[in-house]
Amino acid sequence: MRPRLPTRREVLSRAAAGLGALSLPACAPTAGRKPDATVADAAADASAGYIDAHSHIWTPDTDRFPLGRWITRDQMDPPSFTAEQLLATAAPHGVDRVVIIQHAPYYGDDNSYLINCARRFPGRFSVVAIVDERRTDLADHLRNLKRQGVRGLRISPTRYADRTFVKDPSNWLNAPAMRKLWALATEEDLILCPLVNVEHLPTLHPMLADFPGTRVAIDHFGHARADRPDELQALLSLSRHRRVHVKASGFYKFGDARAPYNDLVPMMRHVTEAFGVDRVLWGSDCPYQLQKGNNYGDAVAMVEHDLDFLPLSARKAILRDNAQRLFFA
């Protein structure tokens, strides 16, 4: 096995001390792995830590940040996963920056909470928002979001609040408003993050061909499985579009759905071989990564330690450099 990557564990743990206690159970230690040594000069390097390219946050302060009309506060699960809780969860595992994804089931296209958190923690968060592409002021709205720290947009063939499919999901990208969104995203250099099931991966090809300059980061492997060749091929075929990236995120819901996630190593090999290591980004999908016996540290460690077919520089790219280039540059 190749040398493990150094992290900023001690430095970031001290930094997290002032962020407040978690209401969720503390993450369990990473089973079977020794803690990493801290790099001596890590404190001087503000960009030394890893980047979680996919996590959600929400707040119990529903007076200041109201929920959508389709959900009530008692339906939030967990009831609280704030920016402070996320940072405190990530810090002991060498992660000091996070791409936070708008959580449609709670907030719809009201991105206020994420934007507020990005403002309160400068440099720590990059925001992926949700917009209603049918709004008449879409161009101005996107420019305003960008000024407030938004770097990407989540899109999906579902209605964002109740997650039911649109009337014609196979043609979800052909609506004039969606094509306008892609054109404006290209113009504003906003990354589009499709949340799709594997059957919708082929629908991306025509739009990617029409908008080759649009940067795209597909969430959660496109929900393809390595043990199903047709699904895997649907994902890998997108690699011919040179600005398409893949988020290796949500380990808790693939394969055995439990640590150490060794059954996902073949998927990681296929994806990195097809897309190249510079187009794969690791993400936790917190707080869901913290449920059903899973924890944050094991998700980091799978990439950090177990992808021994990749050199150290490639694992560092997946854990930090690629997200830095896309979402923090």
Q: What DSSP assignment string belongs to 123-165?
A: TTEEEEE---TT-TTHHHHHHHHHHTTEEEEEE-SB-TTT-PB
37 part of a folded domain: no
What lies within 8 Å, CB to CB, of 26 at 6+ separation is: none
313 part of a folded domain: yes
185 part of a folded domain: yes
239 part of a folded domain: yes
Range in 161-165, 222-226, 259-263 with the lowest mean pLDDT: 161-165
Q: What is the CATH number of the domain that holds 107?
A: 3.20.20.140
The pTM assigned to this predicted structure is 0.87
Question: Higher pLDDT residue, 164 or 144?
Answer: 144
Sheet containing strand 280-283, strands side by side? 50-55, 95-101, 125-129, 150-155, 191-194, 216-218, 244-249, 280-283
137 part of a folded domain: yes
* Structural domain boundaries enclosing 243: 50-328
pLDDT, residue 267, reads 96
31 part of a folded domain: no
Could you tell me the pLDDT band of residue 169, with boundaries at 50, 70 and 90? confident
Q: What is the mean pLDDT of residues 310-325?
A: 97
Q: What DSSP assignment string belongs to 210-276?
A: H-TT--EEEGGGGG--TTSHHHHHHHHGGGGSTTEEEEEE-GGGSTT-STT-GGGHHHHHHHHHHH-
Q: What is the mean pLDDT of residues 35-39?
A: 34
Return the exposure string of 123-161: e unless at least 16 CB atoms fall within 10 Å of the residue's CB, then b: ebbbbbbbbebeeeebeebbbebeebbbbbbbbbbbebb
Q: Name beta bridge partners: 152.
A: 128, 191
Number of domains in the chain: 1
Q: What is the mean pLDDT of residues 167-196?
A: 91
pLDDT, residue 165, reads 63
pLDDT, residue 160, reads 54
123 part of a folded domain: yes
206 part of a folded domain: yes
Residue 199 has pLDDT above 80, yes or no: yes
Residue 283: in which H helix or E strand, if any? strand 280-283
pLDDT tens digits, one per residue of 72-125: 999 999 999 999 999 999 999 999 999 999 999 999 999 999 999 999 999 999
